[in-house]
Amino acid sequence: MDVNLVTLRDPRSPAAEAYRALRMNLAFTSLDRDLTCFVVAPPGAEGLDANVAANLAVVMAQSGKQVCLVDADLRRPTLHTLFGVAQEPGVTTLLVSPEDDFATQLADTGVPGLLLLPSGALPPNPADILGSNKMAALLDRLQGMADVVIFQAPPVTVAVDAAVLAAQTDGLLLVVRTGHTRRDRVEQAKELLERFRVRLLGAVMTDAPDRGLLTGY
């Protein structure tokens, strides 16, 4: 398992505590309805969004929820490496063969209450797949077996994948990396999400001084 999973490696650290604060902040953004399905993605190709999605999934599972973490980055998937599991089978396997045993596609992360659905084989048309009826059906199946479903997606401004997927969920959490993410990228991402009528849940700033993770809404 990757050392970047600070919530497991060093659960008493300020960074791990920041993820627990993020979990609470997200709960407060959805007082009128439970936040059950959302996307985590950066504005541009700055990285670290997979770490945020994974660590957030861990602390949500640790709070007693049944969580399913899904690698919906069908271009450069990384969640399977963070948890030390195979990339296949996964999302694309279930989309091609929806009759397959659903449970066998979910990987055990070693964290009680947290299952991972890797990306599967990479397709030539990720955006079309994520916006398909089969993907909508898969999303319904995932929500039926977990309290919370977290999708990690490609950068918002690099491809429309994240916006297409987030439009089918409760919203998108934007991951901004200190010293790397340009302001104009954030503005472009917000404009794109507005066009797709995606609810912006907030923004997470990573690599921030001292704590390494700050949240902003």
| Main-chain phi, psi angles of 44, to 5 degrees | -130, -170
Q: What is the pLDDT of residue 72?
A: 96
Q: Which range has the worst mean pLDDT, 34-38, 108-112, 126-130, 177-181?
A: 177-181
Give every CB contact of residue 140 below 8 A, 6+ residues apart in sequence. Answer: none
Of 119, 154, 128, residue with least CA distance to 39: 154
Domain 6-216: top CATH class: alpha beta
Helix (H) or strand (E) holding 205, with range, is: strand 200-206
| Main-chain phi, psi angles of 75, to 5 degrees | -115, -50
Q: What is the pLDDT of residue 118?
A: 96
Rounded Cα distance between 176 and 191, Å, is 16
Query: What is the model's pTM?
Result: 0.92
Rounded Cα distance between 174 and 50, Å, is 12
CA distances from 38 to 97, 170, 209 (A): 24, 5, 27
Looking at the chain, list the stretches that DSSP marks H as alpha helix, in order from N- to C-terminal side.
Answer: 6-9, 14-28, 49-62, 79-83, 91-96, 126-130, 133-145, 161-166, 183-195
- Domain positions in the chain: 6-216
pLDDT digits (tens, 9 = 90+) for 114-148: 999 999 999 999 999 999 999 999 999 999 999 99
Could you give the 3-state DSSP secondary structure of residue 118? coil
pLDDT at 190 over 90: yes
